[in-house]
Structure 1
Amino acid sequence: MKERKLGRPRTFDADTALEKAMKVFWEKGYEGSSLPELTEAMGMNRPSMYAVFGNKENLFKLALERYGASHDPLFEAALQQPTAREVVEHFLRGNADAQTEEENPHGCLVINGALACSDDALPIRNTLIERRAAAEDRLKQRFIRASQEGDLPPNFCAGQMARYVMTVSNGMAVQSAAGATREHLQQVVDQVLYGWPKK
């Protein structure tokens, strides 16, 4: 009986390859990341990439999941802060730090990923829009709770404030990708907190 030959062993680590793909998408966005750039960064050829990760769209979604696994805890921790002001401070200061880490591309994958998308990439853009909208809604619900607890003034509009905070966060991501320093972003947070509504 002939001994069965084992398949050719993989010459790459799928987890490491996905991490590298995530950073390419993070830096260049979905449309700006070409398949040659992705496969080169991942250390694999195109057939191998398709075999392991599927097409480019699926690779991006997997990269987005990976990004969320390391960045979503910041948002979750912010929502658990005892006051609405502390929620905002924790969220924005954490973003300022995360968006300017030396070892990673600057900015935010959720923002950078869809700054420029063609019609072919509309599913990706819509996925990112839905993700941002979900975060905004959770922030709104946290502000509603804070208002009910007397932590915010009676005339406070939770929806407008959630939209404002998310707009600031998104703007910080764009600014950091364009070269803004951590210090500059923290100064933006200082200004937001300076104008925080008094009870």
Structure 2
Amino acid sequence: MHKGRPREFDVDKALDKALHVFWQHGYEGASLSDLTEAMGISRPSLYAAFGNKEELFRRALDRYAEKGPGAIQSEALAEPTSRKVVEHLLHSVVMSLTDPCNPAGCLAVQGALTCSSAAESIKQELCKRRSEAEENLRCRFEKAKAEGDLGADSDPAALARYVSTVTQGMSVQASGGASRNELLAVAEMALKAWPA
């Protein structure tokens, strides 16, 4: 049985480069020419390795969630108290959003804001992933409530929505040029509002 020619590029490195293009330009703003140029591969190589642009974007999102800024939430959820969860999450999000090595803002937020109806499946995927992140927070706050870390009258779903809204708002602010210090001030304001 004849094997195909081995790939002449590192798939993970190419995926990292594609991730940055999508992060900077959004799904629709990233052209195939932008992607192949950044990845250092031809269109046939892109299709052979990743299928199509949509599949490449989904794989870039997975990479973002597993190894990039998206991994912040799983680290935060492991904190011992709900306040520590939120503190870790907000501060880490600010550091990620303002990291000079990355495009400003959040791929999952920016990507959905710039999708037209032609990319509805991508918009739905991004919305689903953001909803899952909010649901993870809600579950963690339910646990905190059951353990007495949050008051009996607290609303874990509303708290999760609040934290998600703050982080997504910080992403929009970062993409508009807000500084690290400005966003840290927002995080501190949100923490002051956290239930004692």
TM score, norm. by length of structure 2: 0.93
Q: Which residue pairs with 1:150 in the alignment?
A: 148
**C-alpha contact 2:72 2:92 (8 A) present in aligned 1:** yes
User: CA–CA distance in 1 between the matches of 2:129 and 2:173?
Assistant: 20
- Structure 2: gaps (5+ residues): none
User: CA–CA distance in 2 between the matches of 1:98 and 1:49?
Assistant: 28
Q: Which residue pairs with 1:3 in the alignment?
A: none
Q: Which residue pairs with 2:124 in the alignment?
A: 126
- Counting only pairs closer than 5 Å after superposition, residues 167-178 of structure 1 correspond to structure 2 as 167-178=165-176
What do you get for the CA RMSD once the two structures are aligned?
A: 1.7
1:54 is aligned, of 46, 51, 63, to 51
Cα offsets for 1:31-90 (capped at 9, x unmatched): 111111111111122122112111100010111111111134321121111111111000
- Residues paired across the two proteins, number: 194
Structure 1 window deviating more from structure 2 (54-63 vs 41-50): it is 41-50
Deviation for aligned residue 1:10 = 4.4
Correspondence 1:17 to 2:14: yes
Deviation for aligned residue 1:7 = 6.8
User: CA–CA distance in 1 between the matches of 2:26 and 2:4?
Assistant: 35
TM score, norm. by length of structure 1: 0.91
Q: Which residue pairs with 1:195 in the alignment?
A: 193
User: CA–CA distance in 2 between the matches of 1:81 and 1:7?
Assistant: 47
Amino acid at match of 1:53: F
Q: Which residue pairs with 2:35 in the alignment?
A: 38
User: CA–CA distance in 2 between the matches of 1:54 and 1:24?
Assistant: 17
Cα offsets for 1:97-130 (capped at 9, x unmatched): 0111111111111111111212221111111111
Amino acid at match of 2:54: E
